[in-house]
Structure 1
Amino acid sequence: MSGPAPHTPRGPRGSRDPEYAVVIPTLGRPSLGACLRALAAAVDAGGPPPRRIVLVDDRPPYDSTPLAVDIPDRFQALVRSIPGCAGGPAAARNTGWEAAPEPWIVFLDDDVLPGPRWATDLAADLAAAGPATAGIQARITVPLPQDRPPTDWERNTAGLATSQWITADMAYRRSALEALGGFDERFPRAFREDADLALRALDAGWNLAIGSRRTTHPVRPAGRWVSVRTQAGNADDVLMNRLHGRGWWARAGAPRGRLPRHLAVTAAGAGALALTAARRPRAAAVSAALWLAGTAEFAAARILPGPRTRDEITTMALTSAVIPPVAAWHWTRGLLRHRRERPREPGPPPPNGTGHADRKRMDGPVR
């Protein structure tokens, strides 16, 4: 493991800056280099450097090629790459923070860009944290095109700017991670594992805060069927229901989505096929009309706010027909897989019992 930074910077009053490590799970995407360069620029601008940077290489075990990334010169002695288990971001983050002894762990995604004042503002965020503050979230910006309306995928990504406790840039106190058992590795995707940890922290009496540092989350390139692949998250929502009850949506500030409509549209389509097989043409026609109306409404809701290019309209028309049955499939799969899961007992409270389980946000100044 890499040693500490060559020097320990001190704040304007001579106090020691908070010590932190940066943990970045990665699949080796080219964006990792840009993330490290932005982080180095923020440190060069005057902020305290991390004590270490842990890159968790979460590629499959059969991919034995070295992690290809250009590490900035100032981070050469700080960066350590360790193998993950290809178990998803929750498992990778656990691997990362367990390898870093610093009192604060800052989790970054490998496709974000810390802002120019990131290191300075992070130090202020951590210094201002009380003993019962488990985590401090950055303020996320998602740049959208200025010359046209955003696509469906761009609008989905833009939702990160208003999401709570996302680990695109989230600092957690190491003692809180230890007390809470880290991320729940039953969440295999970059979806809901962050909300689960945050709700467990709040249930145990810890505080969560919104800091002043800013990070940009660009919209990454995605293929035509990306919105279909993301429907796998419906299985994770089932697990959240089992662990936190149906009220977790409001507590986590998460939108409910269209699952009930997807189930209804899927039932109408399946009914049309079954009734056709049963030689009941009139009833089959009614079910088919309901399916068509539901699919058309879904497509229109996605097309109208967008750029309405030929490619976008084609993508929305195709995926709007496919998403409802795929969402229903993953929801059903989640019901079967997680049918025996039960809520866990709350973790130990913060020091001196000073937390407030109902306090979700402590907004700092906007910079």
Structure 2
Amino acid sequence: MTGIPSTPANTAHSNDAAEEPSRPVCSVIVPVYNHWGLVPHLLRCLRAQTLAQESFEVLLVDNGSTDYEPPQSLPANVRILNCETPGSYAARNGGIEAAAGDWLAFTDADCRPDPRWLEAMLARAQQEGRMALLAGTVEMYTDSARPNAYQIYDLIRGIPQAHYVSRGYAATANLLVHRSVMEMVGGFDATRYSGGDTAFCRRACASGYSIHLVCEAVVRHPARHSWGEVVSKARRIKGGQLLSGSKRMRGYWVLRTLMPPLHLYYRYAMAGQYSLRYRVIALAVQSRLWGHELREMFRLLIRPACRERK
């Protein structure tokens, strides 16, 4: 299923039917799964936006959290929705259905948008028009003065949005799409736990839409600080690669997983903005992670129903 969900099991429903004095220009859609402790930080960043608060709404879509603890009070332009179908892309689809704005902005609960994020995105949208998908910059960060090996690895690997855009897709950590694109192309593939943003963007580009990088629209993402977090992301990505898409693409990812990740080794080695020590650490963590990806691939091929979710 690749369209926006319409069945009761897949549709997000509002917990707080707040009255809206006027229709917002933009709806910010944020899936939340066991990250409610991070939501107040995100809301502070959105409260600091240079775009007028009445010009956008924020839809927090809970995706079956086991530690559901939303903030006790919410700004007037923030609503909480529920989505019963597991997976962040199902939650985003639910947010799309409930959204009041014509422009749909996507980010994640652990992200920190810069104050000019929405203003920069919408300014570029005025230039490019409704036929464009707009992807903002994603900058990795850590609050630690002495980051550990896994934070160093995630800082260097990052979310290279410019590289993604050059290949026709973008991460939903920082993406703006007009509602008409969703209506024409269909929403995210709700069966995916990973890779739904890539599949959606490529489907849109194949239908005649274009994708552009908006360098000045910045969202900051924290570097993962533990081996468990790094492995969890890798398992989720591997599940998206091996359990979704055409048989040809799944076969491609099997072969790709069997090969050493030389393209990543090269990118880390050439990341001259980081010290040699940092680059060596990133290479070592990637080598260790490749072994786990191989094991995860064989596990999924034997037991495809057992996959990681965010």
Question: Highest Rg: 1 or 2?
Answer: 1
2:31 aligned to 2, 25, 41, which one? 25
Specify the alignment match of 1:169 in structure 2.
Answer: 174
CA shift for structure 1 position 334:
4.8
Residue of structure 1 in register with 2:10 after alignment:
none
Q: Does 1:211 align with 2:214?
A: yes
Gaps of 5+ in 2: 1-16, 305-310
Root mean square deviation, CA, Å: 4.2
In 1: Cα distance, 2:82 partner to 2:22 partner = 28
CA shift in 2, pair 1:317/1:146, >3 Å: closer
The residue aligned with 2:226 is: 223
CA distances 1:130-167 after superposition (whole Å, capped 9, x unpaired): 3422x211122224689779721322235456443111
Could you tell me whether the CA contact under 8 Å between 1:192 and 1:237 is conserved in 2? yes
Q: Distance in 2 between matches of 1:335 and 1:50?
A: 47
Q: CA deviation at 1:99?
A: 0.8
1:236 maps to 240
Cα distance change of structure 1 residues 65 and 141 upon mapping to structure 2, 3 Å threshold: closer
TM-score by structure 2 length?
A: 0.70
How many Å separate the matches in 2 of 1:139 and 1:69? 31
Please give the residue correspondences for 1:306-325 in structure 2 after superposition, counting only pairs within 5 Å: 320=287, 323-325=289-291
TM-score, length of structure 1 as denominator length: 0.61
Aligned position for 2:308? none
How many Å apart are 1:52 and its aligned residue?
2.2
Structure 1 position 178, deviation (Å)? 2.2
> What is the identity, as a one-letter code, of the residue corresponding to 2:140?
V
More strand by share: 2
Q: Distance in 2 between matches of 1:202 and 1:248?
A: 21
Are the aligned partners of 1:32 and 1:69 in contact in 2 as well (CA < 8 Å)?
Answer: no
Which residue pairs with 1:126 in the alignment?
125
Q: Which residue of 2 aligns with 1:155?
A: 156
Offset of 1:215 from its aligned partner? 2.0
Amino acid corresponding to residue 18 of structure 2 in structure 1:
S
Q: CA deviation at 1:320?
A: 4.7
Percent identical among aligned pairs is: 23
Distance 1:48 1:123 in 2: 14
Tell me what 1:2 maps to: 18
Which among 122, 134, 146 is matched to residue 136 of structure 1?
A: 134
CA spacing shift, 1:258–1:151, aligned 2, 3 Å: farther
Deviations 1:34-73 (A, max 9, x none): 221111111xx3546444211001234xx374423664xx
Supply the distance in 2 between the matched residues of 1:64 and 1:328 (Cα, whole angstroms).
Answer: 32
Shift in Å, 1:196: 0.6
Structure 1 residues 228 and 51 mapped into 2: Cα distance closer, same or farther (>3 Å)?
A: closer
> 1:257 & 1:160 partners in 2: Cα distance?
25
Contact preservation (8 Å) 2:138, 2:160: no
In structure 1, list runs of 5 or more residues that go unmatched.
9-17, 250-255, 264-296, 339-367
Q: 1:334 to 1:49 in 2, by over 3 A?
A: farther
Displacement after TM superposition at 1:184 (Å): 0.5
